[in-house]
Amino acid sequence: MTKEQILISKTKSIYLLEENMSIPADMQFLKNSDSLSVVDQKEFNNHFKKYDFFHSDHSPKKMGQFFLYEKLLNGRYKSNIPHDHELFYPKLGLYLNALPCDQTIEIEWVNYRRTWEIRTEYDYEYKGKIYQNYIGELPTEIERLPLWGDNLLVYGVWDSMPNWKQLRQAYERTWWFHRDKDELRDIQLDRLLK
């Protein structure tokens, strides 16, 4: 697989259904896609309001803070399907800065390398030969996102590197691993009883 194919596998589309709305007949193919979730808009909006960078109590404020986030891009650039958004796999970032940008801010951060990146190989071609490299060996880049039509959902902020228990609890709140309220309650009760 190429680098692009691997990175696309860490992305999925979200099609938001408004109340009393069903998928139009000409878009029934959406239901059978592995890279697409059809979700209730009201439920997603409640989640969004709780974890959005601007409204969350979990937003990083100081340089050097670790934070777990999901990037949510408005899908209008990729398709003309209404209510389409692109959600990226949750990642751990190291907060750098927030810059004024028009009538909003632009967030800057660096992603923390995860184990799957170190272990995942991709193919690339050089002078007619196919070589393999690891995703984790790509150069680190500063990520930037203006919070205008795109969003950052933040699930936890730490002043030092979080341990696996803190990360697991934050991952459980992400939309990528979405669970309903009853499932989350059961998980929390099990954790307390152990």
Q: pLDDT, tens digit, for every residue of 26-47?
A: 555 555 555 666 777 788 888 8
Confidence band, pLDDT 50/70/90 cuts, at residue 19:
low
Ranges of each domain in the chain: 3-193
Confidence band, pLDDT 50/70/90 cuts, at residue 23:
low
The pTM of this model reads 0.79
**Which residues make Cβ contacts (< 8 Å) with residue 142, sequence separation at least 6?**
96, 108, 109, 110
Confidence band, pLDDT 50/70/90 cuts, at residue 7:
confident
Helix (H/G/I), strand (E/B), else coil: 83: coil
Beta-bridge partner residues of 73 = 86
Q: What pLDDT, on the 0 to 100 scale, is given for residue 34?
A: 58
Q: What pLDDT, on the 0 to 100 scale, is given for residue 154?
A: 95
pLDDT tens digits along 116-151: 788 888 898 999 999 999 888 888 899 999 988 888
156 in Cβ contact with 170 (< 8 Å): yes
d(CA 168, CA 36): 24
Q: What pLDDT, on the 0 to 100 scale, is given for residue 108?
A: 95
Confidence band, pLDDT 50/70/90 cuts, at residue 16:
low
Mean of pLDDT over the chain: 82
Q: What pLDDT, on the 0 to 100 scale, is given for residue 115?
A: 81
Q: What pLDDT, on the 0 to 100 scale, is given for residue 144?
A: 93
d(CA 153, CA 186): 24
pLDDT tens digits along 146-193: 988 888 999 999 999 999 999 988 988 888 887 777 887 888 888 788
Question: Residue 67 is encoded by which pair of tokens?
Answer: 């934070």
Q: What pLDDT, on the 0 to 100 scale, is given for residue 105?
A: 92
